[in-house]
Amino acid sequence: MLAMAFMVDYNYRHTSQTVIVVKNKEQRKFSGTVWFFIIGMSLIYVFTEGLRYGRGVDQLGNYGPYYIMANSSHYLYDFEPLFTWLNKTLNSIDPLLYVLPFGSIFFVYAIFFIVSLVCLYSIFKDCSKYFLVFAILATLSFQEGFIRQALSASLIFIAIYFYEKSKWKVAIVFLIASLLIHKGNILFIGILVLCKFLLKNKCINWKLSIPIFLLFEFVVQLDTVFNFIQDIAPYLNLSEDNNMTHYVTDTTYIEHEIDAASEWKRGPLTQLITVFFYVSSYYVCSYIGKRYKKYNYLLNTYIICSLIFEPFRLYGTLSRAFITGALLWFIPLSISFYEWKKSSLVIFKTCVIIMLLYVITYWGRFIFLNPDAKYVWDLI
């Protein structure tokens, strides 16, 4: 799958393409070879994700069983309306419902997500390298572990595509649809909008983002966040039937979450490598933000979300709200590879290398040291 994603980018740059003029700007169209690799990569992605089994706590414990019983009166719990409608509709017509453990629903989720990544690639294809490789690496565990939120995120990515194509009305429709699947992405959308219209074309300087990150990472503790949440909870006016109420106001749940977090603490070396990754990414964002100002709202969204997500990742409630934006590191990394030959700045290239080494070590562990990576055929 990653090899196919690599070939998409390689062939786009090394095969002849039709050049068209749109609004006095030249745009290159995908050649037949590029489309071959895009379709091949997408099919592998969809079948890999659709046939996985048990990866991500929500598949077996929540969304898999929910889909199977979506039209049953015995399953009373409903989610956001668009998510419910999608599951019930597909359940009614699914030819694989009684063939595979969860029918075809996870194929459908994967289709949405890979289409959204291809949409983003079409925006960045002329100013990035290996975009889809890094995008898949950044989002794969998210798509498997945060199933409904990832489906919502895919619609946000498609909205970004339409916004960049100056079709903002269509973009708004997709943003609304994303919230009708998972309201947990509302902060991500809010930060996107604020970064676009408040920060505009200015990228957050690394001299500001790095000190804040180090402060949050090493000084501010989880119990500080817990106390803050309890202080603001009365002003949030959350309805009793809102799923987020349980995560935000249930003190017993939050205290349990903080206690359980100790089991997931990193070792000193892993912690150091991770810190270097984020610090490097903020410098890279600041560097490329001067050259690609129109995309600074995405870079700023990544910076703001990761500043909260990473230091407080052990506090699942808070990290869930910002995880989508924190995954956008694949945008600055892929652009930095495009800028590599143009730059003579040693610190920039060093930061890119650090980011790449982190990605390689993280995914090397995920691929080769993951005994839980099961598929449907492992059940036989």
Confidence (pLDDT) at 199: 87
pLDDT of residue 112 exceeding 70, the answer is: yes
Q: Which tokens sit at 134?
A: 């890094």
pLDDT surpasses 80 at 303: yes
Q: What is the 3-state secondary structure (H, E, C) of the chain?
A: CHHHHHHHHHHHHHCCCCEEEECCEEEECCCHHHHHHHHHHHHHHHHHHHCEECCCHHHHHHHHHHHHCCCCCCCCCCCCHHHHHHHHHHHHHCCCCCCCCCCCHHHHHHHHHHHHHHHHHHHHCCCCCCHHHHHHHHHHHHHHHCHHHHHHHHHHHHHHHHHHCCCHHHHHHHHHHHHCCCHHHHHHHHHHHHHHHHHCCCCCCHHHHHHHHHHHHHCCCHHHHHHHHHHHHHHCCCCCCCHHHHHHHCHHHHHHHHHHHHHHCCCHHHHHHHHHHHHHHHHHHHHHHCCCHHHHHHHHHHHHHHHHHCCCCCCHHHHHHHHHHHHHHHHHHHHHHHHHHHCCCHHHHHHHHHHHHHHHHHHHHHHHCCCCCEEHHHHC
What is the structure's pLDDT at 44? 95
Residue 207 clears pLDDT 50, i.e. is over it: yes
Give residue 362's pLDDT: 79
227: its two tokens = 């106390």
Least confident of 61-75, 212-226, 283-297: 212-226
pLDDT band of 240, cuts 50, 70, 90:
very low
Question: Does 320 have pLDDT greater than 80?
Answer: yes
Closest by CA to 204, choosing from 332, 88, 108, is 332
Residue 321: per-residue pLDDT: 86
Write down the pLDDT at residue 354: 95
Higher pLDDT, 234 or 301: 301
Q: Is the pLDDT of residue 134 over 80?
A: yes
Of the candidates 72, 73, 145, the one whose C-alpha atom is nearest the C-alpha of residue 109 is 145
* Average pLDDT of the chain to the nearest whole number: 84
Higher pLDDT, 239 or 351: 351
Q: How confident is the model at residue 98 (pLDDT cuts 50, 70, 90)?
A: confident
* Higher-scoring residue by pLDDT: 18, 214: 214
Dihedral sign computed on CA atoms, order 164, 168, 172, 174 = negative
Strand 25-28 with 19-22, pairing: antiparallel
Q: How confident is the model at residue 1 (pLDDT cuts 50, 70, 90)?
A: confident
Least confident of 31-45, 122-136, 362-376: 362-376
Query: What whole-number distance in Å separates Cα of residue 147 and Cα of residue 61?
Result: 12
Q: Which of 153-167, 208-222, 230-244, 304-318 has the highest mean pLDDT?
A: 153-167
Count of alpha carbons within 13 angstroms of residue 205, beta-carbon side: 2
Mean pLDDT of 104-109: 95
Least confident piece of the model among 27-41, 85-99, 326-340 = 27-41
The confidence band for 132, taking pLDDT boundaries of 50, 70 and 90, is very high
Inform me whether the pLDDT recorded for 21 exceeds 90: no
Residue 11 CA to residue 32 CA, distance in Å, equals 10
AA identity, residue 378: D
Q: What pLDDT, on a 0 to 100 scale, did the predictor assign at position 50? A: 92
Q: What is the pLDDT of residue 94?
A: 92
- Residue 368 has a pLDDT of 57
Exposed, middle or buried: residue 131 (CB in 10 Å: 0-12, 13-18, 19+)? buried
> Picking from 76-85, 250-259, 294-303, 334-343, which range would have the lowest pLDDT averaged per residue?
250-259
